[in-house]
């Protein structure tokens, strides 16, 4: 099976739906011209392999035509145009959602029509009609409130009519959408919210909305709010150039949100027809609703609209295979990537840790803060958090007692950095050589290393890690303080910490909610914003440039030091995996798919603002799958018992934490088989052969 045809590479197989807003060329009351504009954009969408296209309000007639809306000749021509669009849609893959004035029961309604595969699937009337300031819709239209379980005759067919419709593709489980029209989402209780409670994952808004100063911001506010509250995607399309400018102007704004995230926005004031295209992650939306019991409670409080709404089922003629992924994917999902919010986001992350530590100092009345300083990232960050906490509490920096504890694998460079850092931070500094005590313990337990054999096994490493923590706890008792833990979220995810009396344990784990990639970025932010002296900044820069290593094993004959990432995988990949697993419960196959689109080229995914060019790595699918399989084995298979016994520590990122008292609860004796099998079974056979050596398991 070729790479492009394998289901793994089809975004639809991972719950994505390609949506677009369309701003067609238009003229007031020129139905033929407007119909041609709709079909032009529909054909563009078909070529772009779009699944759903949302047009502006009253697309076929135009919006700002006043009393012309009450002319039978116009309304007859609109219904004829509807038949033309329906016929043309038989050759087009996208579902079209467009606006038209339609008559029913002696009344005129402002309607959204849903057309797909040569059929009119249903018609949704506008619920709320603005009749203030420049708007006079009640002069022409009847409102759609209370229109449920009804039908309408359009172009010779009887189709469902009402505000109680959710449209769902039979062959794409996540492709479920509801429709509201312009003013509907300005109402205190928008009808789109009920459609979401009834099961719609995507909400479409056909809008006219003339432009005035500040109105574009108002639309963003309402779209983002609607998408966030409904836990949905929100696709908004407003009328553009071509509407009547008798008293108003139009900018053609198209906006697409997914929950709280702005994914795409069209160019405004464009003279030509325009599509704004993006891929929506319906799996992510559904997973968030599954976790949010308030959403379920709201559906119950609303009378279970999922039972009363009519679900209009259709077979979607989507394009399969590898059609790419049109979506910004953050390589570093725990790290701020918005340049305009960079300082604020880093400020919050850093000060969450600082404030939490301050409260613990106040609550315990501690006379000292004891930290093991290795010259590595985690202990460095814990120290700068502790230093800032002392500064804000008015305590001398000497309250912090830092100890570097060289072992058998400690390099001179990290040891020097540790001393330089403690000196620059003006804390109480000390050094304890743990090698004599470690040698004695290895002798006592009969370990081969004590007899001169180069045996550097887990016991050899854990003796050193345990002694360091043991010393720190005794020093904390001696100096009437507590041990500040340095271990981070990434290490907890991988189980990369020595359980109990080891780096797993402390009195307060200040870094427990911060992944390794965020720690690296926060240290850069501390340097760039001048949080400490230039001397501190120089040492921090040197520590950032040092390879991540536990330094528990002596260098080899070639002088190479022990590398953490060679053993557990690149932290940038592990943090990517962790985010999608704990925040959204994504299938391993989808995590691999997202990682591929984020990491296979330097230009593919979103880099954090100011990320160093020299550190911009890429990974192919085989490499991603190999490290993801190892992550799944470590995360689900044997590391939970360490997380179940965590000391206190603050949650920092909304993506989650691993404390059993917070975001993550799991059995300590689970197995990883389900997740590892799902990954292997989803991958192309050549990748399975390369990574795992066979295709059987």
Binding site residues for L-glutamine, as ranges? 132, 209, 215
Q: Report yes or no: 313 and 170 within 8 Å, Cβ to Cβ.
A: yes
Per the annotation, where are the binding residues?
Answer: 132, 209, 215, 372-379, 462, 486, 491, 496-499, 642
Looking at the DSSP bridge assignments, the partners of residue 108 are 103
Q: Report yes or no: 235 and 52 within 8 Å, Cβ to Cβ.
A: yes
Q: Which residues contact 605 (CB under 8 A, 6 or more apart)?
A: 328, 329, 330, 331, 597, 598, 599
Ramachandran category for residue 546: left, alpha or beta (phi over 0 → left; psi -120 to 50 → alpha) = beta
Look-up of token digits 């067609």: 24
State the Cα–Cα distance between residues 226 and 229, nearest whole angstrom.
5
- Catalytic status, residue 182: yes
- Catalytic status, residue 630: no
Q: Report yes or no: 22 and 274 within 8 Å, Cβ to Cβ.
A: yes
Per the annotation, where are the binding residues for ATP?
Answer: 372-379, 486
Per the annotation, where are the binding residues for deamido-NAD(+)?
Answer: 462, 491, 496-499, 642
E strand or H helix at 34, and its extent? helix 31-47
Active-site pick, 25, 44, 57, 536: 57
- Catalytic status, residue 440: no
Angle CA 206–212–215, to nearest 5: 55
Q: What's the 3-state SS for 68-80?
A: HHHCHHHHHHHHH
- Which among 453, 416, 444, 486 has a CA at the least distance from the CA of 554? 453
Look-up of token digits 């056909």: 206
- Strand pairing category for 157-161 and 16-23: unpaired
Tokens of 322: 């590898």
State the Cα–Cα distance between residues 127 and 129, nearest whole angstrom.
7
Active-site pick, 126, 388, 516, 651: 126
Phi then psi dihedrals of residue 329, to 5 deg: -115, 120
Angle in degrees, 0-180, between the axes of helices 377-393 and 516-528, rounded to the nearest 10: 50
Looking at the DSSP bridge assignments, the partners of residue 124 are 112
- HSE-up of residue 334 (Cα within 13 Å, Cβ side): 33
State the Cα–Cα distance between residues 22 and 24, nearest whole angstrom.
6
Indicate the length of the chain as a whole number: 697
State the Cα–Cα distance between residues 94 and 115, nearest whole angstrom.
9
Beta strands in 63-175 (DSSP E): 95-104, 107-116, 119-125, 150-154, 157-161, 165-169
State the Cα–Cα distance between residues 112 and 126, nearest whole angstrom.
8
Tokens of 297: 């409670």
State the Cα–Cα distance between residues 520 and 510, nearest whole angstrom.
15
Active-site pick, 25, 182, 204, 390: 182
DSSP track, 191-218: HHHHHHHTT-SEEEEEE-----TTHHHH
Tokens of 294: 């308030």
Point out the residues that are catalytic: 57, 126, 182
């Amino acid at each position: 099976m070729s790479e492009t045809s394998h289901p793994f590479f089809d975004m639809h197989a991972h719950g994505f739906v390609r949506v677009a807003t369309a701003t067609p060329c238009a003229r007031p009351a020129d139905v033929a011209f407007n119909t041609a504009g709709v079909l032009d954009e529909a054909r563009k969408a078909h070529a772009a392999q779009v699944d759903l296209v949302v047009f502006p309000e009253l697309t076929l007639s135009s919006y700002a035509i006043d009393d012309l809306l009450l002319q039978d000749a116009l309304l007859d021509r609109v219904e004829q145009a509807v038949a033309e669009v329906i016929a043309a849609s038989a050759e087009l893959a996208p579902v079209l959602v467009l606006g038209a004035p339609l008559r029913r029961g002696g009344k005129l309604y402002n309607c959204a029509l849903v057309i797909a595969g040569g059929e009119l699937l249903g018609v949704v009337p506008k619920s709320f009609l603005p009749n203030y300031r420049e708007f006079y819709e009640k002069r022409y239209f009847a409102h759609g409130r209370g229109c449920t379980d009804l039908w309408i005759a359009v172009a010779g067919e009887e189709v469902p009519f009402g505000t109680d419709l959710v449209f769902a593709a039979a062959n794409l489980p996540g492709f479920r959408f509801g429709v509201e029209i312009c003013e509907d989402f300005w109402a205190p209780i928008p009808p789109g919210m009920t459609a979401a409670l009834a099961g719609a994952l995507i909400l479409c808004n056909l809008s006219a909305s003339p432009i005035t100063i500040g109105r574009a911001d108002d639309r963003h506010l309402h779209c983002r709010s609607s998408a966030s509250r409904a836990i949905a995607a929100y696709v908004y399309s407003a009328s553009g150039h071509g509407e009547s400018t008798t008293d108003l102007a139009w900018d053609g704004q198209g906006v697409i949100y997914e929950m709280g995230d702005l994914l795409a926005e069209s160019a405004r004031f464009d003279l030509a027809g325009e599509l704004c295209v993006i891929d929506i992650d319906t799996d992510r939306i559904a997973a968030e609703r599954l976790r949010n019991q308030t959403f379920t409670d709201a559906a119950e409080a609303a009378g279970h609209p999922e039972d009363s709404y009519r679900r209009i089922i259709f077979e979607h003629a989507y394009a399969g295979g590898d059609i790419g992924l049109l979506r910004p994917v953050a390589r570093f999902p725990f790290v701020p990537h918005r340049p305009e919010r960079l300082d604020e986001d880093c400020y919050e992350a850093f000060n969450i840790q600082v404030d939490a530590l301050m409260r613990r100092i106040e609550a315990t009345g501690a006379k000292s803060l004891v930290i093991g300083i290795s010259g590595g990232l985690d202990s460095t960050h814990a120290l700068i958090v502790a230093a800032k906490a002392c500064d804000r509490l008015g305590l001398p920096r000497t309250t912090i007692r830092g100890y570097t504890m060289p072992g058998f694998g400690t390099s001179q460079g990290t040891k020097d950095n540790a001393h330089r850092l403690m000196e620059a931070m003006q804390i109480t500094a000390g050094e304890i050589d743990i090698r004599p005590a470690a040698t004695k313990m290895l002798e006592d337990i009969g370990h081969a290393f004590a007899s001169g054999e180069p045996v550097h096994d887990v016991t050899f490493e854990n003796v050193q890690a345990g002694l360091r923590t043991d010393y720190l706890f005794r020093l904390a008792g001696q100096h009437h303080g507590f041990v500040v833990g340095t271990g981070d979220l990434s290490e907890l995810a991988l189980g990369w910490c020595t359980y109990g009396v080891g780096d797993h344990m402390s009195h307060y784990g200040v870094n427990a909610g911060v992944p390794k990639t965020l720690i690296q970025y926060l240290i850069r932010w501390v340097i760039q914003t001048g949080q400490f002296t230039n001397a501190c900044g120089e040492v921090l820069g040197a520590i950032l440039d040092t390879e991540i290593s536990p330094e528990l094993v002596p260098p080899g004959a070639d002088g190479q030091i022990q590398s953490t990432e060679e053993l557990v995988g690149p932290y940038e990949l592990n943090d990517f995996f962790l985010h999608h697993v704990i925040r959204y419960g994504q299938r391993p196959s989808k995590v691999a798919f997202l990682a591929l689109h984020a990491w296979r080229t330097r230009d593919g995914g979103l880099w954090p603002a100011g990320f160093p060019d020299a550190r911009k790595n890429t990974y192919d699918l085989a490499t991603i799958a190999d490290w993801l399989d190892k992550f799944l084995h470590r995360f689900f298979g044997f590391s939970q018992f360490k997380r179940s016994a965590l000391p206190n520590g603050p949650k920092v990122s909304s993506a989650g934490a691993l404390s059993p008292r917070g975001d993550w609860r799991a059995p300590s004796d689970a197995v990883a088989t389900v997740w590892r099998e799902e990954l292997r079974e989803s991958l192309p056979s050549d990748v399975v052969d390369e990574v795992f050596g066979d295709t059987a398991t």
